[in-house]
């Protein structure tokens, strides 16, 4: 009879990049609390000085804050991208504003979770393996629609964790709002919503038939509700993203990732998940800025534009304004 063998569950490993002026000890503690093994802590400067990706230890997760946009930002991001592709690592990236635009342009979105501020709940979800890019979009699949309902449920769960912890800690309402990263109400679009109305996708009508001012008025009306009710009651980031991009298309304007996060009217971390999922699902497209490799614009796919055009033509013909 063979000897009994003790089996140990493999603990996920983490590599943390740090900036010299900000060593986040709380982040290290969170890594440990999530049952992960910290294999190394490397400063951004040291990472830039290392010419070979193989000099970095392989890890399941890479945690990295992106330094302020400068000449070295693209170098840092390029090195991170090479590392992710080399080892199949999943990344947790902290960035804001222009940093976020640069990170979204250079890093592979399918391997990244983007954060714009402190969000221990979402980080814990990632490090515990409960929240993965593949869970919120159909990467590489064309015959399976993105489960936006699942994405909404993930957001709701995170919000629930935040509220529960806030109550336990007896924190005041202002702090609770900071912890409450995810809206509590989503209304995913019906499965057939993006099917063109009355014409094939290849028969795209002229967008000039829809007035940009009409779409902007709709967006303004949606935001006006927030003056009377909690914005989270009507949170609908997918629709808000489509509306902003459609209006921008009609106005011949380009939309950056950071500005689209604002238009989504939800916390940036939530908006980034929706943008990533909708891009992977073919509703949105990435457009590289020809003048700056550190920036991509987000636009509507041809099918999304055709469906939105038909939808608004139908609404205008009926004399009604949807909310």
Per residue in 190-217, pLDDT (tens digit) is 555 444 444 444 444 444 578 899 899 8
**pLDDT score for 209:** 78
* 13-118 CATH: 3.40.50.2300
Helix (H) or strand (E) holding 163: helix 148-168
What would the 3-class secondary structure string for 21-40 be? CECCHHHHHHHHHCCCEEEE
What would the 3-class secondary structure string for 98-140 be? HHHHHHHHHCCHHHEEEECCCCHHHHHHHHCCCCCHHHHCCCC
Q: pLDDT tens, 227-273?
A: 888 877 778 899 999 999 999 999 999 999 999 999 998 888 889 88
**pLDDT score for 48:** 75
* For range 43-70, the mean pLDDT: 79
**pLDDT score for 13:** 93
CATH topology of domain 187-318: Arc Repressor Mutant, subunit A (1.10.10)
Query: What are the backbone dihedrals phi and psi of residue 282, each rounded to the nearest 5 degrees, phi first?
Result: 85, 5
Q: Where are the domains of the chain?
A: 13-118, 187-318
**What is the spatial distance between Cα 63 and Cα 291, in angstroms, rounded to a whole number?**
29
Q: What is the mean pLDDT of the chain?
A: 76
% of the chain exceeding 90 in pLDDT: 25
Helix (H) or strand (E) holding 13: strand 13-18
| 139/248: higher pLDDT | 248
| 316/207: higher pLDDT | 316
Query: What are the backbone dihedrals phi and psi of residue 115, each rounded to the nearest 5 degrees, phi first?
Result: -130, 145
**Token couple for 26:** 């709380």
8 Å CB contact between 207 and 309: yes
pLDDT higher than threshold 50 for residue 18: yes
Cα→Cα distances 25→17, 22, 35, 37, 94, Å: 12, 9, 16, 15, 15
| 170/70: higher pLDDT | 70
């Amino acid at each position: 009879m063979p000897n009994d063998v003790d089996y140990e569950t493999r603990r996920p490993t983490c590599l943390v990049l740090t900036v010299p002026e900000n060593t986040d000890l709380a982040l290290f503690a969170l890594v440990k609390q999530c049952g992960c093994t910290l294999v190394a802590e490397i400063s951004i400067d040291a990472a830039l000085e290392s010419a070979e990706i193989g000099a970095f230890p392989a890890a399941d997760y890479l945690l990295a804050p992106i330094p302020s946009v400068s000449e070295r930002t693209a170098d840092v991001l390029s090195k991170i991208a090479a590392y992710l592709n080399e080892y199949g690592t999943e990344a947790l990236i902290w960035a804001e504003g222009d940093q976020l635009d640069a990170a979204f342009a250079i890093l592979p979105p399918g391997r990244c979770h983007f954060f714009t501020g402190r969000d221990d709940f979402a980080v814990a979800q990632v490090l515990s393996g409960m929240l993965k890019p593949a869970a919120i979009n159909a990467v590489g699949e064309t015959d399976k629609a993105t489960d936006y309902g699942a994405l909404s449920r993930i957001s709701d769960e995170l919000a629930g964790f935040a509220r529960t912890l806030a109550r336990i800690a007896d924190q005041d309402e202002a702090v609770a709002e900071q912890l409450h990263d995810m809206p509590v109400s989503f209304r995913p679009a019906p499965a057939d919503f993006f099917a063109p109305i009355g014409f094939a996708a290849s028969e795209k009508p002229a967008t000039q038939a829809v007035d940009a001012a009409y779409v902007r008025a709709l967006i303004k009306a949606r935001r006006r509700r927030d003056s009377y009710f909690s914005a989270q009651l009507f949170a609908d980031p997918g629709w808000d993203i489509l509306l902003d991009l459609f209006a921008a298309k009609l106005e011949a304007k380009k939309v950056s990732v950071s500005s689209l996060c604002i238009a989504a009217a939800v916390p940036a971390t939530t908006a980034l998940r929706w943008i990533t999922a909708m891009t992977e699902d073919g509703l949105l497209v990435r457009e590289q800025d020809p003048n700056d490799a550190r920036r991509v614009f987000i636009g509507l796919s041809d099918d999304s534009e055709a469906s939105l055009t038909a939808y608004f033509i139908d609404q205008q013909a009926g004399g009604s304004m949807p909310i």
